[in-house]
Amino acid sequence: MSKIKIQNASIITMTGKDDIIHNGKIYIDDDKIIFAGAAAGGPPGWQPDETIEAKGMVALPGFVNCHTHAAMTLLRSYADDLPLMEWLSERIWPLEARLTAEDVYWGTMLCILEMIKSGTTTFADMYFFMDEVAQAVEKTGIRASLSRGMIGTAPTAQLALDETEQFISAWNGAAGGRITTMAGPHAPLTCPPDYLKKVMTLAERFNVGIHIHLAETRSEVDDVRKLYGKTPIEHVNDLGLLELPVLGAHCVHLTQNDIKILLNKKVGVAHNPESNMKLASGIAPVPQMLAEGITVGLGTDGAASNNNLDMMEEMRTASLLHKVSTGDAKAVPSYTALEMATRNGGKVLGLKDIGVLQPGCKADIILIDFEKPHLYPKHDIVAHTVYAAQSSDVDTVIIDGKIIMKNGQVLTMDEGEILENVQRCADRLVKEK
């Protein structure tokens, strides 16, 4: 157990728009926050093992990346400027078929390194060779919700179910609770009804949620309608899938009835604005979903379709995109964008004790250095965090009460080793084409 004190920080607690504490302090005991408040407060007699001087810095919950495919960092810039299905079927899937467990390990390590350095403390991943992904998570100290991706129309459909069962059995609750798991059927179009029912049975047996792509493109919606006479949302709802906790990635092309279903079934949505823009998939009706009361978090999607994992950039894009698409400058204000990147992300992943800085919550905290020209004058530190701050401004990252990055240096990873191995793996994949 360790005790850490953060002092003289401006604290964005994410408990309410106006709940900002200037010249505040945070006490961390083991993996939990036990105090976050004014300098004069705190438990009497409590003594830290380590004190972090945070004058000139802003403390806030670490970012929660609600949807990505971590090892796709290996494919960054490999297949740009193509629509989704052409991008997948002609470029991405053929290369992914050659990935080895070692490739996925090093691709995931690169992903985690990039995320930690830009302030992400939790991510949700859907991919394969998930034992290697979990090992990377365990080693690096990050928090993750992991799911083995499953395509029901593929020759590996049964293998994916078997591996999902083994993976959940081995890793759910591992790494001191930092690893949680979900079942990961790819999408309604690639997972027929009988297959989705098998996935549902498995998820119910292990009491885990489901991470699935929903209504990502117009063509997907049209194809599902042709097959089943319903939208993807209506289809999975009628199958009973939404009776389980569901993380719905994308949710771009929605009808009014779809939105009603998502709300009534308490589906958490992972909004991926930059990936959706890059693949020309469309603009999700996020302001309407938020207004209706749907919980919407943010995700980057994989680095092959973004092309980075920068949640600061993602929340800025989310805010600006919906302002211009609706013609309403108030559509997604800065606090709402920050809430999507933190507190809402925790809710979407079913992790209710992250995304907020208050006693009893997990000590997943980042410190942003505000002593930068682009962050002066300090009229509004929330607006600065969303509209002006850069990922390079992240100075310190604490996850589960442990200091993972200090003064911009990640303490749990060898950056040079990761970059060398990633390039080696990527070079081999391209040469094998």
One-letter amino acid at 308 equals N
pLDDT at 92: 87
| Residue 148 and residue 134 in contact, taking contact as beta carbons nearer than 8 Å | no
Pair 161, 253 in one domain: yes
Q: 10: closest CA among 236, 410, 19?
A: 19
- DSSP single-letter state for residue 91: I
Give DSSP secondary structure letters for 227-295.
Answer: HHSS-HHHHHHHHTGGGS-EEEEE--S--HHHHHHHHHTT-EEEE-HHHHHHTT-----HHHHHHHT--
Pair 240, 364 in one domain: no
Residue 300 domain flag: yes
Q: 242: closest CA among 310, 317, 294, 302?
A: 294
The pairing of strands 246-250 and 365-369 is unpaired
CATH code, 112: 3.20.20.140
Where is the domain boundary, 295, 324, 348?
348
Helix (H, G, I), strand (E, B) or coil at 14: coil
Where is the domain boundary, 297, 329, 348?
348
Residue 126 domain flag: yes
Written as six digits, the tokens of 55 are 């004058």
pLDDT at 366: 98
Spatial CB neighbours of 264, under 8 Å, sequence gap ≥ 6? none
Where is the domain boundary, 326, 348, 370?
348
Pair 380, 271 in one domain: no
Q: Which residues pair with 112 in a beta bridge?
A: none
Pair 88, 46 in one domain: no
Number of structural domains the chain divides into: 2
The pairing of strands 402-406 and 3-12 is unpaired
What distance in Å separates the CA atoms of residue 26 and residue 29, rounded to the nearest whole number?
A: 10
What is the signed CA dihedral for 284, 285, 286, 291, rounded to 10 degrees?
Answer: -170
| Residue 379 and residue 370 in contact, taking contact as beta carbons nearer than 8 Å | no
Number of CB atoms found within 10 A of residue 157's CB = 17
Written as six digits, the tokens of 231 are 């939208």
| Residue 167 and residue 200 in contact, taking contact as beta carbons nearer than 8 Å | no
Pair 140, 286 in one domain: yes
Residue 425 domain flag: no
Q: Is the dihedral of CA 153, 158, 159, 163 positive or negative?
A: positive
Pair 229, 277 in one domain: yes
Residue 416 domain flag: no
Pair 226, 258 in one domain: yes
What distance in Å separates the CA atoms of residue 122 and residue 349, rounded to the nearest whole number?
A: 10
Instruction: Give the 3-state secondary structure of 368-417.
Output: EECCCHHHCCCCCHHHHHHHCCCHHHEEEEEECCEEEEECCEECCCCHHH
pLDDT at 433: 63
Is 0.85 surpassed by the pTM of this model? yes
Q: Is the dihedral of CA 91, 95, 97, 102 positive or negative?
A: negative
Spatial CB neighbours of 384, under 8 Å, sequence gap ≥ 6? 370, 375, 378
22 phi/psi in degrees, rounded to 5: -95, 145
Number of CB atoms found within 10 A of residue 112's CB = 29
CATH code, 50: 2.30.40.10
pLDDT at 153: 96
Print the domain residue range for 267. Answer: 63-348
Residue 418 domain flag: no
pLDDT at 79: 85
pLDDT digits (tens), the chain, 433 positions: 789 999 999 999 999 999 999 999 999 999 999 999 998 888 888 999 999 999 999 999 999 999 999 999 999 998 888 887 888 888 888 888 899 999 999 999 999 999 999 999 999 999 999 999 999 999 999 999 999 999 999 999 999 999 999 999 999 999 999 999 999 999 999 999 999 999 999 999 999 999 999 999 999 999 999 999 999 999 999 999 999 999 999 999 999 999 999 999 999 999 999 999 999 999 999 999 999 999 999 999 999 999 999 999 999 999 999 999 999 999 999 999 999 999 999 999 999 999 999 999 999 999 999 999 999 999 999 999 999 999 999 999 999 999 999 999 999 999 999 999 999 999 999 887 6
